[in-house]
Structure 1
Amino acid sequence: MKKNNLFAVLLLLFSFTASVAQATDEIVEKIVKEANDNSQLEVLAHELMDVVGPRLVGTPQMKKASDWAIATYKKWGIDARMEEYGKWRGWERGITHVDLIAPRVVSLSGMQLAWSPSTGKKGITASLITIPEVTDSIAFQKWLPSVKGKIVLVSMNQPTGRPDYNWEEFATPESFEKMKTDRDALERAWEDRMRKTGFTSRNINQELEKSGALGIIQSRWSNGFGANKIFSANTKKIPVVDLSLEDYGLIYRMTENGDQPKLKVVAESKELGTVPTFNTLAEIKGTEFPEEYVILSAHFDSWDGATGATDNGTGTITMMEAARLLKKFYPNPKRTILIGLWGSEEQGLNGSRAFVEDHPEIIANVQAVFNQDNGTGRVVNISGQGFLHAYDYIGKWLEAAPKDISKHIETTFPGVPSTGGSDYASFVAAGAPAFSLSSLSWSYWNYTWHTNLDTYDKIVFDDVRNNAILTAVMAYMASEDPEKTSREKSVLPINPRSGEQRTWPEPSSPERDGGKLE
């Protein structure tokens, strides 16, 4: 009789397990089919990158992006809101036009840096001067009055506009080595030139401004054809413009050779005072454990040299598409699924740090955070971030993902906790299990990371589609998991650079009143 009862219990347990597995398979299959047959990624990318555009913190475009996201979530039946956490310097980019007007006329390729002061509609017209070779900082101070009424060129002139891979493919080995040797010598000489001024690239612009310069021209090449890094100006009254390597080289050579080049620069912009800075949050409320959270994470802001397509438009649309898929096929999750699109990541993870600081009740009950923020490639690596038992749950959740997606992914357990780099680090520092869905490069660092080329056409939608499927499946599995994830930390290894024991990162407070010049 007892054997029959035991058999009945085992049969019931097996039937229940099989039923759960079948339900899981069905939901995953529906997610995969919808993502492949009815993807919204291209639409989202066009609306966000092409129409809204870049999302520099403190600009009207950042607010427009949030309004767009909230309206999009609402269309899908997902509750969303904007959550203010601080203030930032408000600024809006206008027209930039740079023309060489002597000794010949050429329209040059360049743009003002973020938060650059405006020239007004009339612009400025001036001759050019380069940073000189001086013996020491005293000699530089004696030279400084020479900049009055001029536009100053503050970057080294690159000896070649061809990336190393192009040289390696076509040059003779001897020619390639000679180019690198000459370039290294030129870079050392330029560093020495700057050192002798008594200033660095971080503070020389302010000194030039104080000495009466009318504008600053730089060129921060990103080691790829046509790619320049576009960051922020640090002047109060005069414009700072970045020129393409090709055009910067042209005017630099003219200046150095005594050809007396003259530029007209129009760089219009608007100062908007102090404006709110915020995160954009959406929620699919949990049914069994509504106070526990699975968080889909990406930063919403970008630099504005282009449209922030791969940094981090791709992460943003990945999380939004995953949310759409979950709402459609998993509308009543066990745990609350929260989608966090963070503000001001580019200035120091401010949005996510603020969220962590402001919501200890959520952080204490995080089941998992999935963050994506390094370009358009398919996910190829997940680290356990130093959580001792991360393999037990990450490994289990990954098993549910389609094999054609998971087969590309290498895992590292327990790994070591990240101290920065992207928003998951804000959660890790607070002891919450947060993981980076780390992507294949697609020449991210040279061509799209913070450059003028980070645009819609660089998105590889097949890879982003894979990432949206992976994120949705992982979030579904994390929500359904009967066990709460362990937060036990591993004993961290020795840091090979310092030779000392690694320590767990400490939470950092965000900048809540930023962007102002000193």
Structure 2
Amino acid sequence: MKFLGFTSTGVVHLLTIYTGAAIYQNGVSQNTFQEIKEEIAHYKDVAKAIINLAVYGEAQNRSYERLSLLVDTVGPRLSGSKNLEKAIQIMYQNLQDDRLENVHLEPVKIPHWERGEESAMMLEPRLHKMAILGLGSSIGTPHEGITAEVLVVTSFDELRRRASEARGKIVVYNQPYVNYSKSVQYRVSGAVEAAKVGALASLIRSVTSFSIYSPHTGIQKYQDGVPKIPTACITVEDAEMVARMASRGSRVVVQLKMGAKNYPDVDSFNTVAEIIGRKYPEQVVLVSGHLDSWDVGQGAMDDGGGAFISWEALSLIKDLGLRPKRTLRLVLWTAEEQGGIGAFQYYQQHKANISNYSLVMESDLGTFLPSGLQFTGSEKARAIMKEVMKLLQPINVTQLFTAGEGTDISFWIQAGVPGASLLDDLYKYFSFHHSRGDTMTVMDPEQMNVAAAVWAVVSYVIADREEMLPRN
């Protein structure tokens, strides 16, 4: 492996020249693992060039500045909203202006829900205005609202044990925060479980690792055959206060008003751009983040950062004059927050070519200082990825964890394609997740630089190796 060329501006332009013999025979790799390790080690110089450009060079802070311009201009980007469609059109133009290839929009149908005006007032044992955020797809209340006594529970098991007490009441879930994957079930299914026992509405303690009186929204799902009831998140502080009041025997009454409405699905797009592979253009390494967000805050962290480091990865590779053997494809998903709606339709449209996908990558857990990558794939693929991560030693991001699944790439991973997600400070991420606090103030340009470097190095090396990643 040899790398040639420099420009007068000091930005390195690297041309990869492969001189080895073919290493496939009847579809089976002829390389020993030692040969694979040596092949990957030859990318040390190109990895350093990417890191230097992203972290110290002319591209420093570029992903942060691009992101701030979009979110300050457009704001939050809820599925079905005019803001989201404006953001998609802006990104379509941005990717063309960046001289990426095959820039296009792929049409999809996505949900359209609006929260409307909403409020919750505790009437007994004292007057107290509660901060709430209605949950995605929730129905609204009648115009006069719902006024009822509350029943506080800490789990679905407790709710079932106390089912006889729930009829005609508002169920308040004061579930402890264990971790996101365990605690989020109360947000997703809380309304259904409360409706099964005859509740009029449900209020869920916000699923967050930290709160400064901040409600956190998110998607919830109704179930066929179960009455639909209004549902919203309240703050950790209010959930705990109501629980203390109830534990003392106080009667707690709340008036809930929600103007939420669901509309028919609307037209939208996944946004796509590429660097077309020079040797195996039909084969793909996919890098991605979602462009939609909730309707509070700016959607800067979730998932503006992931979308923009994915764009930055292609920009860095292009700026260095690199063209990998297989195609690098950027996809900015739409309607991820509603359950990966845009990504599922992309999968349906492209799964016929699943054998050509070497790796699918998604950044949707923040772009703070990375700890490493989460990865799902065969043991052979994991061993290769560990070698690739060694190339990131200059920025001390070399760990490879398990569980690379993400909402938008899970369809591919379940079908056997290796998948990777960026991992960083999840405590910080879930402190701001789906809240009004998700703004550019949360973002750190230097940390985004490092995240972009990780994303670019990994995607480029996997795209440029002679072999695709092995599958089970």
Is this a same-fold pair by TM over 0.5?
yes
Aligned counterpart for 2:468 among listed residues 481, 485, 489 = 485
Supply the distance in 2 between the matched residues of 1:136 and 1:238 (Cα, whole angstroms).
16
Deviation of 1:391 (Å): 4.0
Q: 1:128 aligns with which of 134, 149, 154?
A: 149
> Is residue 381–residue 411 contact of structure 1 (8 Å, CA) maintained in 2?
yes
Match in the other structure for 2:387: 395
Distance in 1, Cα, partners of 2:106 & 2:302: 22
1:374 is paired with a residue of what secondary structure?
coil
Structure 1 residue runs of 5 or longer lacking an equivalent are: 1-15, 165-193, 195-199, 490-518
Counterpart CA distance in 2 for 1:256 and 1:294 is: 55
Paired residue secondary structure (2:312): helix
Contact 1:284 1:331 in 2 (8 A): no
For normalisation by structure 2, the TM-score amounts to 0.71
Q: 1:114 aligns with which of 136, 151, 155?
A: 136
The correspondence for 2:350, drawn from 354, 359, 363, is: 359
Alpha-carbon distance in structure 1 between the residues aligned to 2:116 and 2:302: 22
Post-superposition offset of 1:469: 1.7
1:109-168: CA deviation from partner (whole Å, max 9, x where unpaired): 222111222347x652635332699x9989955x566x2xxx61422387xx9x99xxxx
- Residue in structure 2 matching 1:441, options 419, 425, 434: 425
Tell me what 1:470 maps to. Answer: 454
The one-letter code matched in structure 1 to 2:272 is L
Q: What amino acid is aligned across from residue 44 of structure 1 in structure 2?
A: R
Q: Per-residue deviation at 1:275?
A: 2.4
- 1:375 alignment counterpart: 366
Find out whether 1:408 has 2:394 as its counterpart: no
Deviation at 1:339, TM superposition (A): 0.2
Does the 8 Å contact 1:322/1:471 carry over to 2? yes
Residue 375 to residue 138, structure 1, CA distance change in 2 (3 Å): closer
1:82 aligns with 2:105: yes
Matches within 5 A, 1:164-313: 201=190, 203-207=192-196, 213=200, 215-226=201-212, 229-233=216-220, 238-251=229-242, 253=244, 263-276=254-267, 278-302=269-293, 307-313=298-304
- Are the aligned partners of 2:118 and 2:134 in contact in 1 as well (CA < 8 Å)? yes
* 1:473 alignment partner AA: V
* Amino acid across the alignment from 2:134: Q
Pair 1:60–1:321, CA change in 2 (3 A): same
Cα deviation per residue 1:356-383 (whole Å; 9 max; x = unaligned)?
4422464332344333232233333344
- Measure, in 2, the Cα distance between the counterparts of 1:464 and 1:327: 18
Match of 2:321 in 1: 330
Distance 1:244 1:329, change over 3 A: same
Q: Distance in 1 between matches of 2:381 and 2:140?
A: 54
| Structure 2 equivalent of residue 45 of structure 1 | 67
- Return the letter of the residue paired with 2:468: T
**Normalized against structure 1, the TM-score is what?**
0.65
1:92 alignment counterpart: 114
How far does residue 91 in structure 1 lie from its aligned partner after superposition?
0.8
Note if 1:386 corresponds to 2:374: no
Distance 1:272 1:396, change over 3 A: closer
Cα distance in 1, alignment partners of residues 3 and 240 from structure 2: 68
Residue 33, structure 1, aligned to residue 20, structure 2: no
Aligned counterparts of 1:75 and 1:23: Cα–Cα separation in 2: 20
| 3-state SS, counterpart of residue 104 of structure 2 | strand
Amino acid at match of 1:464: M
3-state SS, counterpart of residue 117 of structure 1: coil
- Secondary structure of the residue aligned to 1:17 is coil
State how far apart, in whole Å, the 1-side matches of 2:349 and 2:282 are: 16
| Distance in structure 1 (CA, Å) of the matches to 2:5 and 2:137 | 55
The answer to whether the Cα contact below 8 Å between 2:135 and 2:217 also exists between their aligned partners in 1 is yes
Tell me, in whole angstroms, the C-alpha distance in 1 between the residues paired with 2:368 and 2:470. Answer: 29
Instruction: Give me the identity figure in percent.
Output: 22
How many residues of Structure 1 are paired with residues of Structure 2 in the alignment?
419
Q: CA deviation at 1:444?
A: 4.4
Which residue type is aligned with residue 394 of structure 2? D
* Shift in Å, 1:324: 2.6
Q: Measure, in 2, the Cα distance between the counterparts of 1:301 and 1:258.
A: 44
CA gap 1:223/1:289 in 2 versus in 1, 3 angstroms: closer
Shift of 1:468: 0.8
For residues 320 and 480 of structure 1, what CA distance do their matches in structure 2 show? 18
**Alpha-carbon distance, 1:318 to partner:** 1.0
SS in 1 for 2:458: helix
Letter of the 2:309 counterpart = T
Please tell me the residue identity of whatever aligns with 1:426.
F
- In structure 2, the partner of 1:171 is none
Q: Following TM superposition, by how much is the alpha carbon of 1:466 offset from its aligned partner in structure 2, in angstroms?
A: 0.7
In structure 2, the residue matched to 1:457 is 441
